[in-house]
């Protein structure tokens, strides 16, 4: 008899832990329905934010690669970069700073290490940009946070130390505004060229790596 009473108590406890009351079931169903409605409402907004991203084709003396840009994250940076692209500013420039295991930097100098005038510097959108991972393209700048103009670099490894650190002005970061989606092997090949010192500049390829052109993918020729 005592054993039967114990069994009844155990069954009662199990039933209380494993089941919901009708009221709780209705509340759960209502919550699920509400979540479904919210999900459907959010879907159009998400679709609008994930439209086709602009791409640029970068042709160099060592091959070509395609970069997908992210204006949804960094609109000012992408608009600035594309303004130089559309003007043909990058044509004939070089990758003037190449460090294997770090990045390749270009878009500022020609083969004689001469620079052209640029537009005004832009605001640094590092807090909104991508992480500086291998294959991402980012804006080069001076020690001033909002000093980027035309020069860019492509990370050849995950450079986490270049990312934005909230609340730390000394580690504000470098804005990554796109990534290489085709031809990363060309980027790695460029990263391995022999470099030296040219004038005031270090890590300059001994044989110039020329940026022959940068054009929008799909643009009419």
* Per-residue confidence (pLDDT) for residue 220, from 0 to 100: 53
Count of positions (residues) in the chain: 221
For residues 4 and 116, which has the higher predicted lDDT (pLDDT)?
116
Residue 96 token pair: 């003037």
When the pLDDT of each residue in the chain is averaged and rounded to a whole number, the result is 84
Bridge partner list, 153: 105, 138
Give Cβ neighbours of residue 101 (< 8 Å, ≥ 6 apart). Answer: 156, 157, 191
Mean pLDDT on 61-90: 98
Taking residues 105-118, report their average pLDDT.
97
Asked if pLDDT for residue 48 goes beyond 60, the answer is: no
- Model pLDDT, residue 140: 98
Tell me the two tokens of residue 133.
Answer: 């991972």
pLDDT at 52: 84
The Cα 73–Cα 14 span in angstroms is 51
d(CA 110, CA 106): 9
pTM confidence score: 0.77
Mean pLDDT (whole number) for 106-118: 97
The runs of H, that is alpha helices, within 50-177 are 75-87
């Amino acid at each position: 008899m005592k054993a039967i009473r114990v069994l009844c108590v155990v069954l009662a406890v199990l039933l209380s832990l494993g089941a919901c009351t009708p009221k709780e079931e209705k509340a759960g169903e209502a919550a699920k329905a509400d979540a479904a409605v919210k999900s459907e409402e959010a879907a159009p907004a998400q679709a609008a934010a994930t439209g086709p991203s602009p791409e640029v084709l970068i042709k160099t003396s060592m091959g070509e690669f395609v970069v997908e840009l992210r204006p949804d994250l960094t609109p000012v940076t992408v608009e600035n970069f594309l303004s130089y692209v559309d003007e043909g500013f990058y044509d004939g420039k070089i990758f003037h700073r190449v460090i294997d295991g770090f990045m390749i930097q270009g878009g500022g100098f020609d083969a004689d290490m001469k620079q052209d005038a640029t537009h005004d510097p832009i605001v640094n959108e590092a807090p909104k940009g991508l992480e500086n991972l291998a294959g991402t393209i980012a804006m080069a700048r001076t020690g001033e946070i909002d000093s980027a103009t035309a020069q860019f670099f492509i990370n050849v490894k995950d450079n986490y130390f270049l990312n934005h650190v909230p609340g730390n002005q000394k580690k504000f970061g470098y804005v990554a505004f796109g990534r290489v989606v085709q031809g990363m092997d060309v980027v790695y090949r460029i990263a391995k060229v022999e470099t030296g010192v040219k004038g005031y500049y270090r890590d300059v390829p001994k044989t110039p790596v020329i940026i022959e052109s940068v054009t929008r993918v799909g643009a009419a020729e």
